[in-house]
Amino acid sequence: MSASAASGNEVRGDRAADGTPLLEVRDLVVHHGQLMALDAISLRVLPGEVYAIIGANGAGKSTLLRTIAGLHHPTSGSVLYDGKDVTGLRPERRATQGIVMVPEGRRLFGSLSVEENLKVGATYARQGPWTMERVYEMFGWMRERRNQPTAQLSGGEQQAVAIGRALVANPRVLMLDELSLGLAPVVVQRIYGMLPQILGTGLTVLLVEQDVSQALRVASHIQCLLEGRTTLEGKPSDVTADQVEAAYFGLAGTAASPAGEESEA
Amino acid sequence: MAWINAIIQGILTGGLYALFACGLSLMFGVMKVVNLAHGDLAVVAGYIAIGIIAVTHVPVLWSFLIVVPIMAVLGYALQRTVIQTALDRSVLTTLLVTFGLSVVIENGLLQFFTANSRGIGANLALVTGAFTIGSQISIAYLLLLIFAVAVAVLLGLQYFLSRSKYGRLIRAVADDKEAAQLAGADYRHVFGIAAAVAFATVALGGIAFGMYSDLDPTTGTDTILLFAFAAVVIGGLGSLWGTLLGGIVLGVAQQIGAQINISDELLAGYIVFLIVLVLRPQGLISRGAQS
C-alpha cells in the first residue's frame, strides 16, 4: 500500500503540470465481500487523453471501471469528476453527467432492436455532437440493420452497437471495458480504428484492456494493475517491453516498477 | 348447443381473466415480483369505484376515469416504497411483503366495510342485459364489453411497450437493469412506471369484476388472484397475449366443467391449470415467442 500510494503521489506531482484532470481517483479501496479487489488505486485522467488500464485477469481493472461508473461502492477513497466528488452518486446520475461506460460483454438489451438500443442510450443524453445519425454514419452497416434484434448481430457488430449506445449519451468520459473480449483480432483492430473519430469530438477515453499491445498502440497514458495495486504507469513511449512484462506478471526483483517489491503478493 | 354456449361463455369470461392476469404478468416480467396482493388491490379498486359512484353520482361506466389514475398513483407509490425496499433485499422478500400487504388489505376491508358483498351498477341494463342467438345461446352485454376492454387493454399495453419511451425503458430494464443504469435510466423510477401501468389494469379488473359478480373483502385472494395466476401460468409467464389465451382456456375449461356438473366449474379450471403446469410448464406461449 505504501509503495503504490507513494507512486501515485509521485505521479500526481508529475502530471499536475499537465493541467487539471477531468477524472480523478484517489486511493480507491474496493472489496468484493472479504476479498480486496482494489488496494488504494489512484489515477488522473486528463481531458482528451486515452488512458489505458492494463493487467491480467483478476487484476481489478473491471472493478476499477465499474466503481468509477458507480456500480460498486468503494470501502474508502474517492472519485472526482470535473473537480466534484461523485463517489456517492448513483450510476445513472454519473451517466447523465457524462461518465458513460461500455460494459464488459457488451450487455445490449436483448429484446430490443439495434435502433431501440441506441434510443435507450439517447433517452437521457447530454447536449453534444453525437446523434443516432452520426453513429449510423460511423458504422455504415448499422442503418439498414437497425430494426434487427441485436442477437442476430456478430460479436463485433454488437460491440459497435454498445459503443454507439454509449456515444449517443454524449459522454465527456467514455469508459471502455475489455472491447476486445471474444472478438477476432481483425475486428478488434477495426473497432480501435474508430477511436480517432471518437476522440475528434472532444471525448476523453478511459479503457481497460487485456491485450497489452493493443493498449500500448492507442493509449497516451497507461497504468498497469496487479492484484489490485498499481505496478507501473507512464506514457507508452516511456516504458519498455520488459517493464510492462514485469509489471503485468508481477515478476519480483525487477527494477521496472516502483511498486515491484509488492508483486510477490 | 349447450356445449357451444358453454364454450362461448368461457371465451368471453377469458377476457375478464386476462384483465386480472395482464398486470400480474407485467410486474413479474419486468420486476420479477409476484404480487400476491394483486387480487386484493383489484377489490380495493372496486370499493373505491363503489364509493365514488355513491358520493359523486358519476355514471357507473365512467367511474374508471377516476379509479384508474388513483390506482396508477398508488402503484407507483407502493413500488417506490414497500416493494422496492423488499426487492433490494431479495426477490423472495417481495413474496413475503406482498403476502403481508394482501393480509393487511383484506382485514382492513373487513374492518371498515364488513364482510357484506357489494356489486357495482347491479341495476344497470348493461349489467343485467343479454341478447340471444338461436334458442340456447345468450350473450351478456357486460361480458362482451369486458372482453372488448381486455383486448383493448392488451393492444394498448403492446403499443405502449413497443412504441413509447417508457415502454422501451421498461423492456430495457427488464433485460438488463445495470446496462440501463449505465445509459442514465433510474430503474427504480422505471419500475414505478411499470407498476403504475399494472395497477391501472388492476383497477379495470376490479371494476369489471364488481359489475360481473359481487365483491367482498375475500374475493381478491379467493377468486381474482387465483384466476390471474392460472391464466398467467397457462398462457406463459411474461407473455402479454398469453394472458388472454390463458384466460380463455381457463374460462372455457370452467364452463365445460360446469356443463358436466355445476359443482365442477372451478375444479375443471384447476385441472387444466395443473395439466399445463405438468406438460408445458413454460405455458402455451413461451416468452421467447413474444415480440
pLDDT value at residue B48? 97
Beta strands at A76-81 and A84-85: parallel, antiparallel or unpaired: antiparallel
A204 by Cβ neighbours in 10 Å (0-12 / 13-18 / 19+) ranks as: buried
Q: Which of A96, A119, A120 sits opposite B180 (nearest CB)?
A: A120
pLDDT value at residue B2? 86
The order of strands in the sheet holding A76-81 is: A35-45, A23-32, A76-81, A84-85
Per residue in B135-144, pLDDT (tens digit) is: 888 999 999 9
In the block, cell 446520475 appears at: A93
CB contact under 8 A, B175 and A123: no
Q: Which of B165, B175, B186 sits opposite A110 (nearest CB)?
A: B175
Per residue in B218-276, pLDDT (tens digit) is: 999 999 999 999 999 999 988 899 999 999 999 999 999 999 999 999 999 999 999 99
Listed by number, the residues of chain B in 128-187 with a beta carbon closer than 8 Å to a beta carbon of chain A are 165, 168-169, 171-172, 174-176, 178-187
B187: chain A residues, CB-CB within 8 Å: 92
Per residue in A145-170, pLDDT (tens digit) is: 999 999 999 999 999 999 999 999 99
pLDDT value at residue A3? 39
Contacts of A255 (CB under 8 A, 6+ apart): none
Write down the pTM of the prediction. 0.90
User: DSSP string covering B43-88, please?
Assistant: HHHHHHHHHHHHHH---GGGGHHHHHHHHHHHHHHHIIIIIHHHHH
pLDDT value at residue A255? 46
**B125 has a chain A CB within 8 A of its CB:** no
In the block, cell 433490494 appears at: B88
Interface size between A and B, measured as CB pairs under 8 A: 77
